[in-house]
Amino acid sequence: MMMPLKILNFKPDEELTQEMKKAVISSSEALLHGSIPQAIDEGMGGSYFVIDRNSGQKIAVFKPSDEEPCAPNNPKGLTGKIGERGIKNGVRSGEQSIREVAAYKLDHNHLAGVPPTLLVELKFPRSHVQNIHPSLGKFNGNNSSNNNNNNMFENERIIGSFQLFAPSFCPSSDLSFSLFSLKDVQAIAAFDMRLINQDRHDGNILVRKNEDHEFNLVSYKLIPIDHGNCLPDNLNVSCFEWTWLTAPQLKNPIHSDVLNSIINLNIEKDVEELKQLGVRSECIRTMQISATFMKECCYLFKNKNITLYDIASMMCRSDFETPSELEKIVYKTNWMTLKELLHVKAKGNTFDDVFFKKFKQQIRFYLETKNPKFNL
């Protein structure tokens, strides 16, 4: 018997967390016994809760790649073809599932708190697909209404992201950012900046409430979800797409854990991780640029009290049309790189060899001339 849940793109040296092992087993059992994932109304793409057949509790959230906005089986009326422009400029339809997985893998030491996520193949019926594509007919290769075993929609296997369900008290939109810890807010902000997340709003940061009844204390833990619109093929992100930009924590000194995580980034290792997941090279280069920019800013100016607000303000657009300071630096560096590659002394060097060397120089030059605060 073919299992109803198959893990994809999983390396031999990887290990599942205990929570994820339990979730995979419970989900497989539920699907084998005929449990149908519960469609979620929220969002522009199709997504489902996988339910434990014994407890009735939510196990995971499954997001099919063919139900993303602008994908062929989108249940919200936003249908299109795989590979076309998606709901955000820079991420194509059918690419969001991979980005959900990439976000988890690039959340080093789980600092931002992205829930464990896998790329999987599930088998379950989707009645809405037949309504979207009535010309396909109800049955596969047999139009007899008596042969229900051949129902193509009942037997299809669906690829998508599988993320552990994260129980929460409320979305961050229900509370003030001032209630959240410095580390949590800054860790999520730094994570979104590095991945150029084009869709961080206060509805996709969940809040877990921790109560200490003995001392009558309450604390909150932030959980970022919905990373399908990160890792675009461009640097076009506006200030309106980063909800945490107005949080007071962004203007405080960078938390030591967050600062060290940025300075110690292994960008080359992240590049290889994204290549193995099949992320497009243009999108990987966007991450290289954003991560390099953040790393250089923090390394060069950590003693100058540079803040994440300083860095983020240079990385995002103040409106939807005007290029960010980072985009301007990249444009200038591209021009300088092409000019040098035409010189005989540059022969043998790749474009990126020259680009990233000059890019680091331009970051320092820009910061020192832009703001006296950063003069070394």
Cα separation of 35 and 234, whole Å?
A: 41
pLDDT at 169 over 70: yes
Q: How many other CB atoms are found less than 10 A from the CB of residue 38?
A: 11
Question: Where residue 314 falls among pLDDT bands split at 50, 70, 90?
Answer: very high
Task: Tell me what the mean pLDDT of segment 56-63 comes to.
Answer: 95
Per-residue pLDDT tens digits for 292-304: 999 999 988 877 7
Q: What is the largest CA-CA distance in the chain?
A: 79
Question: Where residue 154 falls among pLDDT bands split at 50, 70, 90?
Answer: low
Task: Tell me what the mean pLDDT of segment 147-151 comes to.
Answer: 43
pLDDT at 227 over 70: yes
Task: Tell me what the mean pLDDT of segment 339-350 comes to.
Answer: 73
Most confident of 140-144, 145-149, 237-241: 237-241
pLDDT at 311 over 60: yes
Per-residue pLDDT tens digits for 73-102: 999 989 999 999 888 889 999 999 999 999
What pLDDT is stored for residue 12 in this prediction?
74
pTM of the model: 0.90
pLDDT at 139 over 50: no
Task: Tell me what the mean pLDDT of segment 3-21 comes to.
Answer: 85
Cα separation of 68 and 80, whole Å?
A: 9
CA nearest neighbour of 251 among 291, 192, 335, 309 = 309
CA nearest neighbour of 222 among 258, 193, 187 = 187
